[in-house]
Amino acid sequence: MDHGSVFRALEAVCEESISAISAQLSLLQHDATGPLLATMKRIKEHGQAVSALVSGFTAVYHHFDFNTETPANGYRTLVKFCPSLRPFLQTVVISMVSFGENYKKQQTGLGRAALSVITSGKYMVDPELRGAEFERITQNLDMHFWKTFWNITETELISSLARIRSEAVQVNLTLTIPGEPLSLPLAADPSLSVTVSPPIAHWGPGPVQVRLISYMLRQGQDSPELFSFSRFKASPVRPQTGPLSPWLLIHFHGGGFVAQTSKSHESYLKSWSKDLNVPILSVDYSLAPEAPFPRALEECFYAYCWALKNCQLLGSTAERVCLAGDSAGGNLCITVSMKAMSHGVRVPDGIMAAYPATLLTADASPSRFLTLIDPVLPLSVLYKCVNAYTGMDTVTVQPRQELDSLTALGRDTALLFESITQGASSWLQALLDRTPSSPAESSGRHQNAVPHMSASVLQGSREFPEGFEPLRSGCLAEIYTPCMPIMKNPFVSPLLAPDDLLKRLPPVHLVASGLDALLDDSVMFAKKLKSIDQPVTLTVVEDIPHGFLSLSQLCKETKDASDICVARIKDVFERNTPQ
């Protein structure tokens, strides 16, 4: 139906009704006539405003797939997360706001986390205060806060607790690959070779950190040559080893290009190694904003080439190689494959990308509106990650501070007890002061936490009909929309890559969440690959959030989603090509 004709008909009905009523003098003398005429005029004005809005929407909606038979593009925005995850997500929000309150205090990440437990009580009992603080944090705190918060899982204490529930593996080894040129056979003619340079962006050649995980010990994994890349020494006792695997999985972790390492993803990688019976090499690439594009891409590509050249040290013959990654790591899986094409080296046999970021621009899409209510990936945080990776928020590179677990725990404990009295008293005071209050009183009680709009802002130029006032946030946010030419670089936003480059990609398997702000990135990328007859599959899992792989041990729904990813990787290894 033509929406224009609908609104024109509505306007005509309003005008005819107003004319007809105004022509009857007897009706004009009735008390109800005035309000009726005012209502008809307001309906006419609202129709004109909505018509302009719908016209703007229809100019872009055809770019998106709204077919309800194939879930996509965030049209189910009112569906809630599965019940088994809701308590966890609420805990994440409470932890975030408590952590934000203690963010500026002189604590390490673990110390802030521990102190946040003490001060979280008031946010548990007061949802309004929690909501106000969540809004303040997501809109105003800087990238360093988000890096610190997301990296809580990197602390030795937290990772040790996660390790208790994870699969026991025989190989879990961190390696340092030196930054030296590599010589690999040319894919088109193996008799010729191509030289792959080490990563050089921003600060010159440097090593790349990786982690090798294998459920069983295989040939090469106990060799002195492999241990020469590690700070650990090979055991003098050589245990019995299994044969080389024909498969090799290379993994790039998520974290918005700015946070986490393979340590945060160990849990599901160990399960994958067992379920697939395959060695896994996970790359700990350098993070933004200290290392913006293209440093991470260069390091991942270099690690991929090193793995091809040294596959037997990793316990594999690399007859079949699959790239796997989530979120930012999914982006790197695609762009590393594109970089392999441009260098003429062997392309992986397939890609499994979970909820990948394929379009790092500020373009709006239906699913990206979920960032307005998403506790895992708020809008301002998404933009901060994009700004950091594309180089808009670069900072001076700082060397990592290495602390053993006992030293870190001791320092955190000392700093924690310095503030424990203050934190506990604040919590108790919040509980004692809590009395039943009306919504108006509650709003006044939190006026210090949420600065209100000025009258000049509220009384500015009106964009809506008289009598209509949309709901607005209680505090102003300065969200700088990313806008740089580099965002349209195909190696940053692979969705914008030319068809002739995408046609050379290996089979791509995408696994996305129906409640993920990046759902459209998967849908549109799958749609583009399908339009050029490129092998691709898209699986949309309902009712779970972005980052579900890291939550695979929490509930059945996330475990089932992780199993889908395993099945897609297995398809690559077993040569099941999507149609």
Active site residues: 327
Rounded CA separation 86/216 (Å): 36
Alpha carbon 377 to chain centroid, angstroms:
6
Helix (H), strand (E) at residue 161? helix 156-165
Amino acid at 484: M
Question: Which residue from 266, 170, 270, 175 is spatially nearest to 218, judged by alpha carbons?
Answer: 170
Helix (H), strand (E) at residue 175? strand 171-177
Amino acid at 50: V
Residues 430/7, Cβ–Cβ less than 8 Å: no
Residue with tokens 């006044």: 444
User: What is residue 492's three-state secondary structure?
Assistant: coil
Rounded CA separation 386/381 (Å): 9
Q: What tokens appear for 429 in the block? A: 């005071």
- Parallel/antiparallel/unpaired status of strands 280-284 and 208-214: antiparallel
Write phi, then psi, for 570 (nearest 5 degrees): -65, -35
Residues 118/423, Cβ–Cβ less than 8 Å: yes
Rounded CA separation 520/526 (Å): 10
Q: How far, in Å, are 199, 232, 370, 452, 525 from residue 494 at the CA level?
A: 20, 38, 22, 41, 8
Rounded CA separation 525/331 (Å): 11
Rounded CA separation 49/38 (Å): 17
Write phi, then psi, for 196 (nearest 5 degrees): -105, 120
Residues 495/338, Cβ–Cβ less than 8 Å: no
- Count of C-beta atoms within a 10 Å radius of residue 564: 15
